Structure 1
Amino acid sequence: MADFLLVHGAAHGAWCWRDLIPALTARGHSVRAIDLPGHGGDLTPIADVTLDAYAIAILSAIDSPVTLVGHSMAGYPISLAAERAPDKITRLVYLCAYLPAGDRTLAERRQENSHQPLLPALIHADDRKSFRVDPARSRDLFYHDCPPGTATYANARLCAQAVQPSNIPCPLGAAYASVPRSYIRCMDDHTIPPELQVAMTADWPARDVCEMPTGHSPFFADPEGLAELLGDIADQDG
Structure 2
Amino acid sequence: MSDILFLHGSLHGAWCWRDMLPALTALGHSPRAMDMPSHGKDTTPLDQVTLDSCVASVVDQLGDNTVLVAHSWGGYPATLAADIAPEKIARIIYVCAYIPREGHSLVDMRKLAPRQPILKAIKRAADNKSYTVDPAHTREVFYQDCPEGTEDFALAHLTPQATLPQITPAKLGLGHTTCAKSYVRCLYDNAIPTEFQAEMVRDWPAKDVYEMPTSHSPFFSDPTGLAALINTILKE
**TM, length-normalised to structure 2:** 0.98
Corresponding position of 1:108: 108
Q: After superposition, what is the alpha-carbon deviation per residue over 1:47-69, rounded to whole angstroms, capped at 9, x for unaligned?
A: 11111111111111123211001
CA distance in structure 2 between the partners assigned to 1:36 and 1:58 by the alignment: 8
Corresponding position of 1:58: 58
Instruction: Report how far residue 119 of structure 1 moved.
Output: 1.2
Instruction: Report how far residue 81 of structure 1 moved.
Output: 0.2
Secondary structure of residue in 2 paired with 1:90: strand
One-letter amino acid of the structure 2 residue matched with residue 142 of structure 1: F
Corresponding position of 1:141: 141
Instruction: Report how far residue 103 of structure 1 moved.
Output: 1.1
Please state if 1:173 is matched with 2:173. Answer: yes
* Equivalent pair of 1:2/1:231 in contact (CA under 8 Å): no
Unaligned runs of 5+ in 1: none
Secondary structure of residue in 2 paired with 1:136: coil
CA distance in structure 1 between the partners assigned to 2:221 and 2:120 by the alignment: 23
CA distance in structure 2 between the partners assigned to 1:118 and 1:92 by the alignment: 24
Corresponding position of 1:130: 130
Please state if 1:230 is matched with 2:230. Answer: yes
Instruction: Report how far residue 171 of structure 1 moved.
Output: 2.2
Corresponding position of 1:193: 193
Please state if 1:210 is matched with 2:216. Answer: no
Secondary structure of residue in 1 paired with 2:117: coil
Q: After superposition, what is the alpha-carbon deviation per residue over 1:131-153, rounded to whole angstroms, capped at 9, x for unaligned?
A: 00112211111100000000000
* Equivalent pair of 1:13/1:40 in contact (CA under 8 Å): yes
One-letter amino acid of the structure 2 residue matched with residue 134 of structure 1: D
* Equivalent pair of 2:40/2:157 in contact (CA under 8 Å): yes
Instruction: Report how far residue 113 of structure 1 moved.
Output: 1.5
Corresponding position of 2:27: 27
* Equivalent pair of 2:21/2:32 in contact (CA under 8 Å): yes
One-letter amino acid of the structure 2 residue matched with residue 65 of structure 1: N
Q: After superposition, what is the alpha-carbon deviation per residue over 1:52-95, rounded to whole angstroms, capped at 9, x for unaligned?
A: 11111111112321100110000000001000110110001110
* Equivalent pair of 2:15/2:40 in contact (CA under 8 Å): yes
Corresponding position of 1:3: 3
Secondary structure of residue in 2 paired with 1:103: coil
Kindly tell me the number of residue pairs found equivalent between the two proteins: 236
CA distance in structure 1 between the partners assigned to 2:104 and 2:92 by the alignment: 20
* Equivalent pair of 2:3/2:63 in contact (CA under 8 Å): no
One-letter amino acid of the structure 2 residue matched with residue 225 of structure 1: G
Secondary structure of residue in 1 paired with 2:153: helix
Instruction: Report how far residue 194 of structure 1 moved.
Output: 0.4
Q: After superposition, what is the alpha-carbon deviation per residue over 1:76-129, rounded to whole angstroms, capped at 9, x for unaligned?
A: 000010001101100011100001112111111111123101112211111110
CA RMSD of aligned residues (A): 0.9
**TM, length-normalised to structure 1:** 0.97
Alignment of 1:63-78 (within 5 A): 63-78=63-78
Corresponding position of 1:99: 99
Q: After superposition, what is the alpha-carbon deviation per residue over 1:208-233, rounded to whole angstroms, capped at 9, x for unaligned?
A: 10000000000000000000000111
Unaligned runs of 5+ in 2: none
Query: For structure 1, which segment, 185-194 or 62-71, has the greater mean C-alpha deviation from structure 2 after superposition?
Result: 62-71
One-letter amino acid of the structure 2 residue matched with residue 219 of structure 1: F
